[in-house]
Amino acid sequence: MAVPAHRIPALVVALLIVLAPWMLPVWIVTLLGYVGLYSIVCLGLVLLTGMVGITSFGQAAFVGLGAYVSALSIIHLGLSPWLTLPLSLAASGLAGALIGWLTIRLSGHYLVLGTMAWGLGLFYLFGNLQGLGGFNGLSGVPRLEAAGLSLVEPARFMLLVWALLAILLAGTTTLIDSRAGRAIRALRDPVMVESFGVQSASLKLKVFVAAALFAGLAGWLHAHYLGHVSPSPFGINASVDYLFMAVIGGTGSPAGAVLGPAVVESLRTLLRDAVPALQGVGGNYEAIVFGALVILLLQRASGGLAPYLSRWLPQRPPPRAPAAAQPLPTRKPPSAGSALLEVRGLGKRFGGLVALQGVDFNVPAGEIVALIGPNGAGKSTLFNLVTGVLPPSEGEVRLQGQRIDTLPPRAIAARGVARTFQHVRLRANMTCLENVAIGTWLRGRAGVMAGALALSREEDTQCLFEAQRQLDRVGLGALASAPAGSLALGQQRVLEIARALAADPSLLMLDEPAAGLRLREKQALATLLRELKSQGVTVLVVEHDMDFVMNLVDRMVVLQFGTKIAEGTPDVVRRDPRVIEAYLGGLDD
Ligand code: ADP
Ligand code: MG
């Protein structure tokens, strides 16, 4: 059986690890054990910090929780070390769910401070809670055994740790390429993912819990390896250390979670021996040299070492769509000509400012309707009201007769409204195919566990197949494997249209799709929209470029100062004196 080239580096590492006890001195094997242990925690950070963008300064507290719970349940319940594993995981998972629930609501500096707060809080709890042995900790935690063999012997412990690490690495890698993984990698833009139906808060929470579970597992291993549990390895210093290692390795990929601890621990060991010898005195010089080296490293390789190193290794091929797949479920199209979207007396006030007032119009199924008006007329506000980003102050919005103005964006998306953004919101590092696949979210079901356990393969291929189909439909099929960030602005806007189409919408809403495009690109976009219309897609396009919409749309609604001043076919609107005065006249000035 042929092994794909990109798997070879991992297989070589695995082989070296298995052979290490026979080839390397005990102190290196011991070091490898610790590297594996730290890698498990760092892998959680790759998910949490690298993928989702939550910088955690408290991860060591979850390690401590896993360690203390195991030690305590042995002391008080007399369980064997193996039986305490589920308890350790339950404790770190539950604490992760609770702390995560509180933390992910915060943002920016508060989020970082929040992680520090619980990192410190749990540390002092470990030190001060009755029955935990204070800052001296608990001794005599029984060591791990299996089939009468002590697993604390360095080589066996190292192999156990790396076997667990290998399982977690495989799961994480599989997850990243799954439906849920793509959504997780897009969570840094919650407005975008929510507009495709993703429950961003609950998905973030799941990642938070996963990272806490990884840390809890490491804590359990720690307790039974050292036979002793005390607060100091679980304090804020340790948390910073984990973060350090993950960042140095590179939080963008699972490989970074292993590379970071390996490099940091090797450097530390080397410096600990070499620097005092150079200086001729003992002391903490190695910490300073170490700090300087880290700064140098991060300057040369800002994404960490993994991407830097991977340039010389065979690349993992980007995900591809299969040649054929079962089609995803489709929505029943609205009957042509019926009022798909109805806007009635819609208004929005921002404090004292009336941004929109008493706006009425319909979008009939199968038509292209433009909403136009000069800057500040209220177009974006109306767009936000219809898509649920903002609640209206008055009036109502109906989709196929049902009110949607009280619903959040993801519920509106579920009813068949898909949108693009005035300022493109794409994941620059993900491929075009992956970006468009995010649009299919509501047409699939597999979650995080299914993704990690490779149970969602079939659905994943369906999503990718559909994504490719939509890329072909808009003429970007050949760019499927290119990172979205490498496309020109005009192509990025079209890519957003493909992503919206992947949701199988009954109403496609475009916010200034022609903004920033060159004439050629505008013409191509108009051709695409005409094609979509001929295929039965209903479009509401918000635009301030009159020329772009004039020859394209069936009907126009003109806004000025938040109120509708005209409505009708382009020919009628073009001759309306109020429009000429307010809009065209304004432009000529
Ligand atoms: P357009 O998209 O037609 O250029 P907008 O809908 O962005 O216009 O804005 C309409 C009016 O509402 C403007 O006067 C704008 O300053 C105001 N506005 C828009 N959003 C907000 C907000 N979040 N807070 C306060 N005022 C706003
Ligand atoms: Mg606007």
The predicted-structure confidence for 5-45, as pLDDT tens digits, reads as follows 888 999 999 999 999 999 999 999 999 999 999 999 999 99
Nearest CA to ligand 1 atom 26: 350
380 lines ligand 1 (CB under 6 A): yes
Q: Which region among 289-298, 329-338, 380-389, 515-524 has the lowest average model confidence (pLDDT)?
A: 289-298
Q: What is the pLDDT of residue 213?
A: 98
411 CA from centroid of ligand 2 (Å)? 23
Q: What is the pLDDT of residue 230?
A: 93
375 lines ligand 1 (CB under 6 A): yes
Task: Point out the ligand nearest to the CA of residue 378.
Answer: 1
Average pLDDT of the residues in 108-129 = 90
Q: What is the pLDDT of residues 337-363, one digit of tens each?
A: 789 999 999 999 999 999 999 999 999
355 lines ligand 1 (CB under 6 A): yes
For residue 444, give every residue at least 6 positions away whose Cβ sits within 8 Å of its Cβ, in sequence order, or none: 179, 328, 456, 459, 462, 463
Please, what sign has the CA dihedral across residues 254, 256, 261, 262?
positive
C-beta of residue 515 within 8 angstroms of C-beta of residue 422: yes
- Stated length of the chain: 589
Q: Is 307 exposed, middle or buried (0-12, 13-18, 19+ CB in 10 A)?
A: middle
Q: What is the pLDDT of residue 148?
A: 81
Is residue 546 scored above 90 in pLDDT?
no
State phi, psi for 315 to the nearest 5 degrees.
Answer: -85, 145
Share of residues in the chain with pLDDT > 70 (%): 97
C-beta of residue 494 within 8 angstroms of C-beta of residue 475: yes
Task: Point out the ligand nearest to the CA of residue 356.
Answer: 1
Closest CA to 334 of 568, 508, 567: 508
C-beta of residue 46 within 8 angstroms of C-beta of residue 257: yes
Collect residues with CB below 5 Å from ion ligand 2.
380
Mean pLDDT of the chain: 91
Nearest CA to ligand 1 atom 22: 350
Closest CA to 264 of 287, 280, 237, 283: 287
Measured CA to CA, the distance from residue 181 to residue 421 in angstroms comes to: 23
Q: What is the pLDDT of residue 583?
A: 66
Measured CA to CA, the distance from residue 261 to residue 245 in angstroms comes to: 5
Share of residues in the chain with pLDDT > 90 (%): 70
Q: Which helix (H) or strand (E) holds 13?
A: helix 8-23
Task: Point out the ligand nearest to the CA of residue 382.
Answer: 1
Measured CA to CA, the distance from residue 387 to residue 413 in angstroms comes to: 8
DSSP-assigned letter for residue 580: I
307 lines ligand 1 (CB under 6 A): no
> Structure tokens of 47?
């998910």
Higher pLDDT: 545 or 125? It is: 125
Measured CA to CA, the distance from residue 293 to residue 264 in angstroms comes to: 10
**pTM here?**
0.92
Closest CA to 538 of 500, 570, 508, 504: 508
Nearest CA to ligand 1 atom 15: 376
Pocket test for ligand 1, best of 353, 390, 544, 583 (most atoms within 8 A of CB): 353
Nearest CA to ligand 1 atom 19: 381
377 lines ligand 1 (CB under 6 A): yes
Is residue 489 scored above 60 in pLDDT?
yes
Task: Point out the ligand nearest to the CA of residue 372.
Answer: 1
Q: What is the pLDDT of residue 130?
A: 84
Q: What is the pLDDT of residue 131?
A: 84
Read off the pLDDT band of 281 (50, 70, 90): low
**Hey, which residues does 498 pair with through a beta bridge?**
none
Is residue 586 scored above 60 in pLDDT?
no
Q: What is the pLDDT of residues 374-398, one digit of tens each?
A: 888 999 999 999 999 999 999 999 9
Q: What is the pLDDT of residue 584?
A: 57
C-beta of residue 219 within 8 angstroms of C-beta of residue 67: yes
Q: What is the pLDDT of residues 72-106, one digit of tens each?
A: 998 888 888 899 999 999 999 999 999 999 998 88
Q: What is the pLDDT of residue 589?
A: 39
Higher pLDDT: 317 or 195? It is: 195
